[in-house]
C-alpha cells in the first residue's frame, strides 16, 4: 500500500492548489495530497515491524521532539484543544506530522524505482506553469478566493509565484545541462526575488564544493532572461518594488515582538489568529519567515527542536546538489514561511533521501 500511495502522491503533487477538496472559502483548506499523506502515515504504522523501523530512523527523534514541543506550546496557552483556533492549530500540526511520512516512505522504498515518475511530475508542473502564463496571465480575480492577485507572473498550480519560484529554483539546481534552462526560464517568469535569491544561494553552496564556472554562469543567464522576457505594466514584475520588502520587514519585526512576550514556549504553535496574539493583528495571516514563525509560536524551546530537526536532516543528506536545494529552501524560508508549505515539505523530505551522485 505504501508503494501505491507514493506513486499516487507523485502524480498528484504537481496539481497543487487545483485539487483542493474543502473549497477556497474554508478556513482549513484540505488538499488531496493531505489525504494521501495521512493514509501514508497509517500505512507506515499499521505493522509492528514498520513502526520499529520508523522509530529506529535517525530523524524519528527530532520529529518527535518537535511535535512534542509544539503540543506543549499549545497546552500552555489554552485550557482546551476544543477552542476553534487551538483545534485548527492541532490539525495543522497533525498535517505536518503526516507529511513526515514521505521521508520514512522514501527511505524504506528507495528512490531509484520512482526516478522516472519524479521527472514526469516535474515536467507536468512546468507545463501547468507555462500554460497558465500563456493563456491566463491575468490572475487578479484570485483575490476574491483568498489568494494574492498577480498580473503577468507565472504562478502555476500553487497560485503563488513565490512558492512556485522556489520549486523552480530547486528544479534548476537538480536538472542537468542544458535541460535546466527550461525551469530557469520559468523561474524568471515568476518575478519572485526571493526565489532568485534562493537559487543564487544554492548555486554558491554547490560552487564552493565543485568550483565549476558554469554554475556561476547560471546567474548570468538568469540576468539575461530577466532582461529579455516581456514586462507588461504592473507592480508585481517591478524588481525594484519596495512595498513587499517593507511589508515583510514589518511582519518580521512584529513576530520578534511577539516572541519577546513569550520567549520560552511562544504563544502556541500556529495560533497567531487567536486572541492571545490579537494585539499584533498584522500577524493574523502568518509570519513571512519559517524560523521566526517557530520562534514566535513555540519560543526558544520549540526553536531548538526545529534546529535539531534541520541539523539532523542536513546530516542525512548525502547528495551535494540536494544539499544545494536544501540551502535554497532554507534561504527562501527567511522571507516566506516556505518550509511549512505542504508541497515544499514533500520536496524537502525527498531531497534528504536523494542518493549520492544522482540527480532527478
Sequence ranges of the domains in the chain: 2-18+31-353
State the number of CA atoms in the 13 A half-sphere of 216 facing the CB: 8
At how many degrees (to 10) do helices 213-228 and 181-190 cross? 50
What is the rounded distance in angstroms from the CA atom of residue 265 to the CA atom of residue 270? 12
Report the pLDDT value the prediction gives residue 235, as an integer from 0 to 100. 62
Q: Phi/psi at 288 (nearest 5 deg)?
A: -85, 50
Cα–Cα nearest to 89, from 106, 111, 67:
67
Residue 280 has a pLDDT of: 54
Long-range contact pairs involving 22-27 (C-beta distance under 8 Å, separation at least 24): 24/145, 24/146, 24/147, 25/145, 25/146, 27/88
Q: What is the pLDDT of residue 275?
A: 41
Residue 35: its H or E element = helix 32-45
Compute the distance between CA of residue 51 and CA of residue 342 in angstroms, rounded to an integer. Answer: 24
Q: Is the backbone of residue 353 left (phi > 0), alpha (psi -120 to 50) or beta?
A: alpha
Q: What is the pLDDT of residue 84?
A: 60
Residues in a beta bridge with 151: 138
User: Is the bond leading into 178 cis (omega within 30 degrees of zero)?
Assistant: yes
CA of 3: how far to CAs of 50, 109, 216, 294, in Å?
A: 14, 7, 39, 33
3-state secondary structure of 20: strand
Q: Give pLDDT tens digits along the chain (360 positions).
A: 899 999 999 999 999 999 988 765 555 678 999 999 999 999 999 888 889 999 999 999 999 999 999 999 998 887 544 456 677 888 899 999 999 999 999 998 888 889 999 999 999 999 999 999 999 999 999 888 878 889 899 999 999 999 999 999 999 999 998 999 999 999 999 999 999 999 999 999 999 988 777 788 898 999 999 888 887 766 667 777 777 888 889 999 999 999 999 999 999 998 886 644 445 555 656 899 999 999 999 999 999 999 999 999 999 999 999 999 999 999 999 999 999 999 999 999 999 999 886 444
Beta-carbon contacts of 93 under 8 Å, excluding residues fewer than 6 positions away, are 67, 70, 71, 74, 269, 270
* CB contact set of 213 (below 8 Å; sequence gap of 6+): none
Length of the chain: 360
Beta bridge partners, 20, equal 31
Task: With beta carbons less than 8 A apart as the criterion, state whether 12 and 32 touch.
Answer: yes
Amino acid at each position: 500500500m505504501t508503494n501505491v500511495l507514493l506513486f499516487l502522491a507523485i502524480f498528484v503533487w504537481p496539481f497543487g492548489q487545483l485539487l483542493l477538496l474543502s473549497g477556497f472559502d474554508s478556513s482549513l483548506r484540505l488538499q488531496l495530497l493531505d489525504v494521501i499523506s495521512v493514509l501514508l502515515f497509517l500505512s507506515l504504522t499499521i505493522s509492528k515491524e514498520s513502526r520499529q523501523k520508523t522509530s529506529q530512523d535517525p530523524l524519528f527523534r527530532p520529529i518527535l521532539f518537535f511535535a512534542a514541543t509544539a503540543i506543549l506550546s499549545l497546552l500552555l496557552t489554552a485550557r482546551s484543544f476544543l477552542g476553534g483556533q487551538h483545534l485548527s492549530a492541532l490539525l495543522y500540526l497533525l498535517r505536518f506530522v503526516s507529511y513526515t511520512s514521505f521521508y520514512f516512505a522514501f527511505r524504506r522504498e528507495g528512490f531509484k524505482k520512482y526516478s522516472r515518475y519524479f521527472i514526469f511530475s516535474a515536467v507536468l508542473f512546468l507545463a501547468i506553469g507555462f500554460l497558465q502564463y500563456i493563456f491566463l496571465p491575468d490572475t487578479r480575480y484570485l483575490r476574491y478566493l483568498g489568494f494574492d492577485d498577480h498580473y503577468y507572473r507565472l504562478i502555476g498550480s500553487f497560485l503563488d509565484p513565490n512558492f512556485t519560484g522556489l520549486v523552480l529554483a530547486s528544479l534548476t539546481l537538480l536538472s542537468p545541462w542544458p535541460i535546466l534552462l527550461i525551469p530557469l526560464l520559468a523561474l524568471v517568469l515568476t518575478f519572485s526575488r526571493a526565489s532568485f535569491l534562493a537559487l543564487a544561494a544554492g548555486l554558491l553552496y554547490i560552487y564552493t564544493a565543485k568550483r565549476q564556472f558554469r554554475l556561476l554562469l547560471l546567474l548570468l543567464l538568469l540576468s539575461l532572461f530577466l532582461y529579455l522576457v516581456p514586462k507588461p505594466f504592473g507592480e508585481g514584475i517591478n524588481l525594484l518594488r519596495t512595498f513587499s520588502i517593507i511589508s515583510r520587514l514589518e511582519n518580521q519585526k512584529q513576530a520578534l515582538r511577539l516572541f519577546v512576550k513569550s520567549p520560552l514556549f511562544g504563544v502556541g504553535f500556529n495560533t497567531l489568529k487567536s486572541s492571545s496574539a490579537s494585539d499584533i493583528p498584522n500577524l493574523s495571516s502568518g509570519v513571512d519567515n519559517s524560523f521566526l514563525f517557530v520562534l514566535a509560536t513555540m519560543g526558544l524551546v520549540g526553536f531548538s527542536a526545529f534546529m535539531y530537526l534541520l541539523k539532523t536532516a542536513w546530516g542525512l543528506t548525502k547528495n551535494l546538489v540536494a544539499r544545494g536545494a536544501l540551502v535554497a529552501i532554507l534561504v527562501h524560508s527567511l522571507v516566506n514561511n516556505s518550509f511549512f508549505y505542504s508541497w515544499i515539505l514533500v520536496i524537502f523530505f525527498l531531497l534528504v533521501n536523494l542518493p549520492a551522485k544522482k540527480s532527478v
